[in-house]
A and B are shown apart, each in its own frame.
Chain A
Amino acid sequence: DGGITQSPKYLFRKEGQNVTLSCEQNLNHDAMYWYRQDPGQGLRLIYYSQIVNDFQKGDIAEGYSVSREKKESFPLTVTSAQKNPTAFYLCASSPGQGEGYTFGSGTRLTVV
């Protein structure tokens, strides 16, 4: 079955560490996205990529980095510069404009 796989499901990070969240899709979608969700807030866009080897900052990109070396993969690195990284991170993909997104099951990141 086609879908989006995020790993790990839960991740604990120490202060000052960088961590990388994995996102893989086999839907053959060109566009991929990273969102962050905090309690009581809507999803906020971190980064997006419309095509391989190209990506753009979203609304809250500070402290994050991404790469898009393959169509199927769009990993997100949460760097030590991100001051409040504890959140639910959601990866999504889309076949194109006018279509909704398909989301992965998310990664819960907690700073310890």
Chain B
Amino acid sequence: RKEVEQDPGPFNVPEGATVAFNCTYSNSASQSFFWYRQDCRKEPKLLMSVYSSGNEDGRFTAQLNRASQYISLLIRDSKLSDSATYLCVDSRNTGFQKLVFGTGTRLLVSP
């Protein structure tokens, strides 16, 4: 089983739609997670941290379900500029911070 698993997609949605991605992680001891966004042939950029209580940043909402070991990202009112690959990340703190990346979910927002 992969340490962090994501549906590769692509998810094709029209502008204005709401879309949700899930990600599962294998390490039950993991405490900290992130969502990164990666545009084609560019570096990943931090989108948001994922907190146990859930957190929201504008149109983006991240949730953590420890019992089922999954993380979700909800994007409301999708924009064309949201088209990218979204990487789910497990932050392991075992003496040093190691980020374990999923392979990403590709989102395509169309007019």
Contacts and interface: CB of A to CB of B under 8 A. Distances in A.
Contact of A98 (B4, B8, B93, B98): B93
B45 A103 contact: yes
Interface size class of A (residues with CB under 8 A): 20 to 34
B43 A100 contact: no
A50 B43 CA distance: 21
Interface in B1-43: 4, 8, 32, 34, 36, 41-43
Contacts of B104: 42
Contacts of A48: 96, 98
A16 interface: no
Contacts of B60: none
A41 B101 CA distance: 9
Given A42-B102, A43-B101, A50-B96, A105 B42 contact: yes
A1 interface: no
B103 interface: yes
Contacts of B32: 98
Interface in A24-77: 31, 33, 35, 40-43, 45, 48, 50, 56, 58
B46 A97 contact: no
B42 A101 contact: no
Interface of A: 31, 33, 35, 40-43, 45, 48, 50, 56, 58, 88, 90, 94, 96-106, 108
Interface of B: 4, 8, 32, 34, 36, 41-46, 49, 87, 89, 91, 93, 96-104
Given A42-B103, A43-B87, A104-B43, 6 more contacts: A31-B97, A42-B100, A43-B44, A43-B99, A90-B43, A96-B97
6 contacts: A35-B101, A42-B100, A48-B98, A97-B93, A101-B46, A103-B44
- 7 shortest interchain CB distances as A-B pairs: A103-B43, A42-B101, A43-B101, A100-B46, A42-B103, A97-B97, A97-B93
